[in-house]
Amino acid sequence: RLEQIFEKPLEEARSELMSLPGVGPKTADVMLLFAGGKPTFPIDTHVSRVSRRLGIVDEKDDYEEARVKLMKFFPPKYYLKAHLLLIEHGRRTCKAKNPLCRNCVLLKYCSFGQLLSKKL
Protein backbone atom coordinates (compact mmCIF):
# COMPACT_ATOMS: atom_id res chain seq x y z
CA ARG A 1 0.00 0.00 0.00
CA LEU A 2 2.84 2.45 0.74
CA GLU A 3 4.25 1.94 -2.73
CA GLN A 4 0.92 3.05 -4.18
CA ILE A 5 0.93 6.15 -2.00
CA PHE A 6 4.51 7.01 -3.01
CA GLU A 7 3.53 6.88 -6.68
CA LYS A 8 1.09 9.77 -6.21
CA PRO A 9 1.98 13.47 -6.49
CA LEU A 10 3.66 14.83 -3.36
CA GLU A 11 0.77 16.71 -1.76
CA GLU A 12 -1.73 13.96 -2.53
CA ALA A 13 0.58 11.33 -1.04
CA ARG A 14 1.21 13.57 1.96
CA SER A 15 -2.51 14.07 2.59
CA GLU A 16 -3.18 10.36 2.31
CA LEU A 17 -0.42 9.52 4.78
CA MET A 18 -1.69 12.15 7.23
CA SER A 19 -5.16 10.60 7.06
CA LEU A 20 -3.72 7.49 8.74
CA PRO A 21 -4.03 7.28 12.55
CA GLY A 22 -1.00 8.72 14.32
CA VAL A 23 0.60 10.19 11.20
CA GLY A 24 1.10 13.93 11.28
CA PRO A 25 2.99 16.27 8.97
CA LYS A 26 6.47 15.40 10.27
CA THR A 27 5.98 11.64 10.07
CA ALA A 28 4.44 11.94 6.61
CA ASP A 29 7.33 14.10 5.41
CA VAL A 30 9.92 11.70 6.86
CA MET A 31 8.26 8.76 5.12
CA LEU A 32 7.97 10.63 1.84
CA LEU A 33 11.57 11.87 1.84
CA PHE A 34 13.35 8.77 3.14
CA ALA A 35 11.20 5.91 1.82
CA GLY A 36 9.37 7.55 -1.06
CA GLY A 37 12.17 9.72 -2.42
CA LYS A 38 9.77 12.67 -2.61
CA PRO A 39 11.03 16.28 -2.46
CA THR A 40 9.76 17.39 0.94
CA PHE A 41 11.47 18.73 4.05
CA PRO A 42 10.66 17.19 7.44
CA ILE A 43 11.12 19.47 10.42
CA ASP A 44 12.07 18.11 13.81
CA THR A 45 13.24 20.03 16.86
CA HIS A 46 16.84 20.30 15.63
CA VAL A 47 15.93 21.43 12.11
CA SER A 48 13.55 23.97 13.61
CA ARG A 49 16.09 25.38 16.09
CA VAL A 50 18.99 25.63 13.62
CA SER A 51 16.91 27.11 10.79
CA ARG A 52 15.38 29.70 13.15
CA ARG A 53 18.73 30.70 14.61
CA LEU A 54 20.17 31.07 11.11
CA GLY A 55 17.21 33.20 10.08
CA ILE A 56 16.00 30.85 7.35
CA VAL A 57 12.62 30.66 9.07
CA ASP A 58 10.97 33.02 11.56
CA GLU A 59 10.26 32.28 15.21
CA LYS A 60 6.53 32.67 14.57
CA ASP A 61 6.42 30.27 11.60
CA ASP A 62 4.36 27.13 12.11
CA TYR A 63 5.38 23.76 10.68
CA GLU A 64 3.94 24.37 7.21
CA GLU A 65 5.38 27.89 6.89
CA ALA A 66 8.81 26.66 7.98
CA ARG A 67 8.61 23.69 5.61
CA VAL A 68 7.79 25.93 2.64
CA LYS A 69 10.65 28.32 3.48
CA LEU A 70 13.17 25.48 3.82
CA MET A 71 11.98 23.98 0.54
CA LYS A 72 12.58 27.34 -1.14
CA PHE A 73 15.95 27.83 0.56
CA PHE A 74 17.49 24.49 -0.43
CA PRO A 75 17.45 22.95 -3.92
CA PRO A 76 15.26 19.80 -3.95
CA LYS A 77 18.19 17.50 -4.74
CA TYR A 78 19.72 18.51 -1.38
CA TYR A 79 16.64 18.13 0.85
CA LEU A 80 17.75 14.80 2.31
CA LYS A 81 21.34 15.85 2.90
CA ALA A 82 20.35 19.26 4.29
CA HIS A 83 17.79 17.66 6.60
CA LEU A 84 20.38 15.24 8.00
CA LEU A 85 23.07 17.92 8.33
CA LEU A 86 20.73 20.31 10.17
CA ILE A 87 19.88 17.53 12.62
CA GLU A 88 23.54 16.68 13.16
CA HIS A 89 24.45 20.34 13.59
CA GLY A 90 21.63 20.78 16.09
CA ARG A 91 22.77 17.77 18.11
CA ARG A 92 26.49 18.55 18.16
CA THR A 93 26.87 22.33 17.95
CA CYS A 94 23.65 24.32 17.85
CA LYS A 95 22.25 22.76 21.02
CA ALA A 96 19.10 24.01 22.72
CA LYS A 97 21.04 24.65 25.93
CA ASN A 98 24.64 25.82 25.88
CA PRO A 99 25.15 26.00 22.11
CA LEU A 100 28.78 25.91 21.00
CA CYS A 101 28.58 29.09 18.92
CA ARG A 102 32.25 30.00 19.19
CA ASN A 103 33.19 26.71 17.50
CA CYS A 104 30.44 26.89 14.88
CA VAL A 105 31.37 26.83 11.20
CA LEU A 106 28.21 28.86 10.48
CA LEU A 107 28.91 31.62 13.00
CA LYS A 108 29.56 34.30 10.37
CA TYR A 109 26.05 33.64 8.95
CA CYS A 110 24.27 33.45 12.31
CA SER A 111 23.18 36.59 14.12
CA PHE A 112 22.00 34.46 17.07
CA GLY A 113 25.47 32.97 17.49
CA GLN A 114 27.22 36.29 16.99
CA LEU A 115 25.08 37.91 19.67
CA LEU A 116 25.56 35.00 22.07
CA SER A 117 29.34 34.94 21.48
CA LYS A 118 29.59 38.63 22.38
CA LYS A 119 27.81 38.00 25.68
CA LEU A 120 30.24 35.26 26.72
- pTM metric for this prediction: 0.92
Active-site position among 8, 26, 69, 95: 26
Predicted confidence band at 120 (pLDDT cuts at 50, 70, 90)? low
Give the chain's domains with CATH numbers: 1-38 (no CATH), 41-120 (1.10.1670.10)
Active-site position among 44, 58, 97, 108: 44
pLDDT tens digit sequence for 22-51: 999 999 999 999 999 999 999 999 999 999
Q: Calculate helix-pair angle for 45-53, 63-73, nearest 10 degrees.
A: 60
Per-residue model confidence (pLDDT) at position 1: 84
Q: Is 26 a catalytic residue?
A: yes
